[in-house]
Copies of this chain bind each other. A is one copy, B any other.
Amino acid sequence: MSKARIKAAVVGANGYAGAEVLRLLSAHPRVELVAATSRTHAGKPVEEAFPSLPVGLTFSDTAAKELKGCDVVFTALPQTAGARLVGELTDGGARVVDLSADYRFDDIGLYEKTYGVTHPRRELNDSAVYGLCEVERERIRKAKLVANPGCYVTSALLPLLPLAEKGLLSDVIIDAKSGTSGAGRKSDEAYSYCTVDESFRAYGVFTHRHAPEISEKLGMPVVFTPHLLPIKRGILSTVYFRTNDPAAAESILKNAYVGERFVTYSDKLPEIAWAAHTNRCIYSARFDGERGIIVSVIDNLLKGAAGQAVQNMNIMFGFDEADGLPVCAPV
């Protein structure tokens, strides 16, 4: 006898992150997928819009009655666009995993400055739980609203937080490189094949919105430089830092996530392909005196977005935390 399934929906399922949530949920043993919304494709079968997603649903809009009775709703709308809707959904009784930045900040002023908007639901923001699964697991269990962390942020925070908590971290520089899916679905020459292929570039130097998110969670300023890789998916972050106790730092890095299925210290320097198409974060570290370097890899759409979102759901509903989530990477 198979176990009971919860009802789930995805709002904003035509973006890359939303589409990945849809894909994961369609094969999840404890979920019944009841709705997927898309303003662009409302009324069209999902498979017609996306032949790679034969999930048997028709896109609806966010007024769809199916959204009402859901146990959990994943919201994957552009930053600030869905903050009100998230509130309405939680008001209506659903538990929500929000993939945007709208409920990620403790300091709502920092959020408003970073995104140039006024937050519509400050009280809800106060009760939202930051969904970095391995770090906030206990609070996520009971959360009504989980704010799913940013992709770059996840790759950096997982190895850095244990060091920061012990006061073993200073002078942090994060040189991060992301696959092009991180920019979302694009009709833009800057993201055309001929522009991206065989090239590589930095962007948002000193100005990217993930820097404040990392700084807030880490409790210290960081330098953060993202780059665009000519690959579809994956992030590798090279993190430079100083520490006053390298031996202690190394030991903490090696032991912080022992027993975790999705976060792994590796003696060998990890490659993006080890984590791509999985929900894992794999990192390694090297030291030279007080100087340390961490190399950390994730799949930006899985552990960096849809995968962590489903992991959050698994925690919230008491499922096996790995249900529906890939651990092994394909060739």
Contacts and interface: CB of A to CB of B under 8 A. Distances in A.
B194 A186 contact: yes
A23 B201 contact: no
A197 B202 contact: no
Q: Name, among A194, A266, A293, A301, the residue most crowded by chain B CB atoms within 10 Å (CB to CB).
A: A194
Interface in A160-215: 173, 175, 177, 179-181, 185-189, 191-203, 205-206
A36 to B, nearest CB: 12
B266 A234 contact: no
| Chain B CB within 10 A, most for which of A51, A53, A189, A270 | A51
Contacts of A185: 189, 192, 194
A27 B328 contact: yes
A293 B232 CA distance: 26
A318 B252 CA distance: 48
A309 interface: no
A238 interface: yes
Nearest to A325: B27
B197 A16 contact: no
Given A194-B16, A194-B180, A328 B205 contact: no
Contacts of A269: 201-203, 205
Contact of A206 (B197, B270, B274, B293): B293
Among A205, A272, A277, A293, the one with the most B-chain Cβ atoms within 10 Å of its Cβ is A205
A277 B277 contact: yes
A274 B54 CA distance: 10
A153 interface: no
Contacts of A53: 328-329
Contacts of A151: none
A193 B29 CA distance: 33
Interface stretch (A104-112, A131-139, A141-149, A223-231): A223-231
Contacts of A229: 200, 229-230
A286 B197 CA distance: 25
Nearest to A25: B328
Nearest to A51: B274
A93 to B, nearest CB: 29
A223 B51 contact: no
15 contacts: A27-B328, A51-B266, A53-B328, A54-B264, A54-B328, A55-B328, A175-B238, A187-B188, A192-B192, A194-B232, A197-B230, A198-B276, A200-B236, A230-B230, A240-B240
Interface of A: 1, 16, 19-20, 22-23, 26-27, 29, 51-55, 173, 175, 177, 179-181, 185-189, 191-203, 205-206, 223, 225, 227, 229-234, 236, 238, 240, 264, 266, 268-278, 282, 286, 288, 291, 293, 295, 301, 326-331
